[in-house]
Amino acid sequence: MGSVRRSGWRQYLPYLVLNVIISALTMLGVLMIWGRVQPVPEIPPTSTMDAMSVAASLVPTQTLTLVPTPTPVTYVVRSGDTMGDIAVELGISIDALMKANNLANPDALSAGQILIVPVTPAATNSGSPGQGGSSPQPTATASQDAPAVDIRGVTGAGDLDSEAVRLLNSGGVVDLAGWTLDDGQGHAYTFPAFTLHDGAVSIHTRTGTDTVIDLYWGLTEAVWLPGKVITLRDNTGKVQSTFQIPAN
């Protein structure tokens, strides 16, 4: 009786190896096909912060403050005015007045001409003397609480049409009612109810209509002749200022 030979594991080894290789190739092929079919997800770009822009937005915006331009002080030349008279009334020098207006000839003035008045830092600019306001006050030596009214000059002395006495108040507000101007020879002008601030007023000898800068006596002849002394008295009779009219 013959013998049966039993198969060993070595006999099936090549088949096992082949099976592993085929399985591995199959799996690799499946993975390759799957990778081609499935889209690769897009990664959204990471937003970046502009640090400079953020810092700039946090800085407060500066607002420019515009400095108002000051309104120039002017004086309107009246008939009979001279450069010297205007300078005396405004309390400034003739040279300063001419320089501010680019004038070379002090006699080149005409009625209605507008002059720029140079104002010093100490001046009180409360209006235009030639346009119904108060004249500038470059220097104030008196207390601002007490009036300081002075006779600053006479224009057109001896000429009724242009004759006027000019007063300047460099102190506090004063009520001129009852004050007088006299020439010591029987001619006296009595002020009506009139409030004078820190500025000037002209008292004309002739007839006219009173304004805030001009008063009219109403006479028919000139009284302020060269050589006369003008006296300003308050309502109690106290002398406040005197002025001698220059002789021709």
The domains located in the chain, with CATH, are 70-133 (3.10.350.10), 140-248 (2.60.40.1260)
Q: What is the pLDDT of residue 8?
A: 62
Q: Would you say residue 69 has pLDDT above 70?
A: no
Q: Would you say residue 17 has pLDDT above 90?
A: no
Name the band, by pLDDT with cuts 50, 70 and 90, for residue 56.
low
Mean pLDDT of 74-103: 83
Q: Would you say residue 124 has pLDDT above 90?
A: no
Which residue, 145, 77, 80, is CA-closest to 117? 77
The 3-class secondary structure across 146-200, one letter per residue, is CCCEEEEEEECCCCCCCCEEEEEECCCCEECCCCEEECCCCCEEECCCCEECCCE
CA 156, chain centre distance (Å): 38
User: What rounded mean pLDDT belongs to the chain?
Assistant: 77
Residues 154-206 have pLDDT tens digits of 999 999 999 999 999 888 889 999 999 999 999 999 999 999 988 899 999 99
What's the residue count for the chain? 248
Name the band, by pLDDT with cuts 50, 70 and 90, for residue 120.
low
Which residue, 240, 185, 197, 192, is CA-closest to 216? 192
Q: Would you say residue 1 has pLDDT above 80?
A: no
**Taking CA 92 as the corner, what is the angle to CA 90 and CA 95, rounded to the nearest 5 degrees?**
130
Cβ within 8 Å of residue 195, ≥6 positions away? 173, 174, 175, 176
